Amino acid sequence: RLARAYNSIAPLSGKILTGGIDSKALHRPKKFFGTARNVEEGGSLTIIATALINTGSKMDEVIYEEFKGTGNMELHLSRRISDKRIYPAINYNRSGTRKEELLTTIEELKK
């Protein structure tokens, strides 16, 4: 929604990406999410964000693909599990941490 909001107010750059999103509209959201990795004196900043997928909107797909690789972990929710009223409706098979080998031993990863 942040990227969509910037797309609606950003001055037109003349370069429109697939899905109707202006290329400059993604600059500020990318800068915001980049702050999590660029904190002075090695501090830590956690940013939790969501992305709309499987909406049928090409714009949502483009936004998701632009930001997909920027996170340290992905948590996928399951509509099927949610429909059964089981919460939190987490799809554990699709969720995970990137670079988990830095957090644990190789032996633990093989389990």
> Residue ranges of the domains in the chain?
1-71, 72-111
Residue entry with tokens 């660029």: 38
3-state secondary structure of 64: helix
CA distance 73 to 19: 26
Predicted confidence at residue 42, as pLDDT, reads: 67
16 HSE (CA, 13 A, CB side):
7
Q: What is the pLDDT of residues 18-65, one digit of tens each?
A: 888 888 888 888 888 777 666 677 667 778 888 888 888 898 888 888
pLDDT higher than 80, residue 109: no
C-alpha distances (whole Å) from 1 to each of 82, 84, 87 are 22, 27, 24
N-term to C-term CA, the chain: 38
3-state secondary structure of 102: helix
Predicted confidence at residue 2, as pLDDT, reads: 86
Burial of 25 (0-12, 13-18, 19+ CB in 10 A): buried
pTM score of the predicted model: 0.66
Q: What is the pLDDT of residues 56-106, one digit of tens each?
A: 889 888 888 888 877 788 888 999 999 999 999 999 999 988 878 877 888
Predicted confidence at residue 30, as pLDDT, reads: 84
CA distance 17 to 61: 11
